[in-house]
Homo-oligomer: A and B are copies of this chain.
């Protein structure tokens, strides 16, 4: 038998069992080890609940101001002003993209996040500079958190000639997915943008994650366009719609049709809870087989002064707003930040099972419903079997 590196004793599993978890070589090697087994290190959890490390499926690490003195929100209350404000403020900050991205990623880890999908702005002004910064942060923190990067055309694609080439270059320089944004509202050319970004994804054999803030029927039009291209290119399971507020803002019959279409085409949805926009119908989408996952989106950045990177707080809010109260529904809500996120991100060896990565988080809770409802502070966070945060403080590499 492999020598045990770490024993977590008096650990509560999501099914309620109190047990001892054994870790070796960065993996879970037993979920019911004898408490007296020989191990290099042992940590007594005192009955704390153990969950798989949380997944933050929608972040903007390149925009954060975490680590800087407070900077008040500076943009006018519309999206194009926020885009322009980014270009004015971000280049002059005293911390680099790498430093700021790493600061926020450490905050994520401290709250129990083990895997992040982050969008990174690709535009004609910054070109690939932010991607380089976030790639450097990803490398620096590889021992504490995994990152998946979306090459995100925040300023638009067709309205900014040259951006398609930059997105293509980004896919060679470390980005994992191709992004997109509001093909009607921002680009006013849905065919142009969607044909362009799907072609890049197809060429590189990668997936897409497309921001869709567009409301009502306008947004639904693009949901349909995204679904048809996903099916045509055989990209089922590799495409995500970010936000999809339109899904919450149309009649129930249209929600139903969109959910069916997304389910058939294997198009996922990631939500941060929709802020002032309508919340997509999470339970309906799940019933139609849509992978619904969650992300924090902006955390103390140029777009929003809100956020603390806590995924349990995030899904608690989403469940509360979605009116999901019964215990099985609270388990479903946890899925948004665990299993469904892992599926959308294509993570292998994820979850509380023997052979999977020992990426874990512990907190005071009797079970999953309480963990979601009260989201108590995190006690211990492990990545590949190593303790990377304790009592809300990052202590990883």
Contact = CB atoms under 8 A, between A and B. Distances in A.
Contact of A373 (B300, B316, B330): B300
Interface in A293-342: 300, 304-308, 313, 316-317, 319-323, 325-327, 330
Contact of A369 (B70, B307, B320): B70
Contacts of A70: 366-367, 369-370
Nearest to A367: B70
Interface of A: 69-70, 72-73, 75, 77, 275-276, 279, 300, 304-308, 313, 316-317, 319-323, 325-327, 330, 366-367, 369-370, 372-377, 392
B374 A307 contact: yes
A116 to B, nearest CB: 18
A375 B308 contact: yes
A316 B306 contact: yes
A327 B373 contact: no
B307 A276 contact: no
21 contacts: A69-B366, A70-B367, A72-B326, A73-B325, A73-B326, A275-B321, A276-B279, A276-B323, A300-B370, A300-B373, A300-B374, A304-B320, A305-B327, A305-B330, A305-B369, A306-B319, A306-B320, A306-B325, A306-B373, A308-B374, A308-B376
A285 to B, nearest CB: 16
B77 A276 contact: no
A366 to B, nearest CB: 5
Contact of A72 (B317, B327, B374): B327
Contacts of A377: 377, 392
Given A313-B313, A320-B304, A327 B73 contact: yes
B275 A323 contact: yes
Contacts of A313: 313
A304 B317 CA distance: 12
A75 B326 CA distance: 9
Contacts of A320: 275, 304, 306
A333 to B, nearest CB: 10
B369 A322 contact: no
Given A70-B370, A73-B327, A305-B330, 15 more contacts: A70-B369, A73-B326, A75-B325, A275-B320, A275-B323, A300-B373, A300-B374, A304-B320, A304-B325, A305-B370, A305-B373, A306-B316, A308-B373, A308-B375, A313-B313
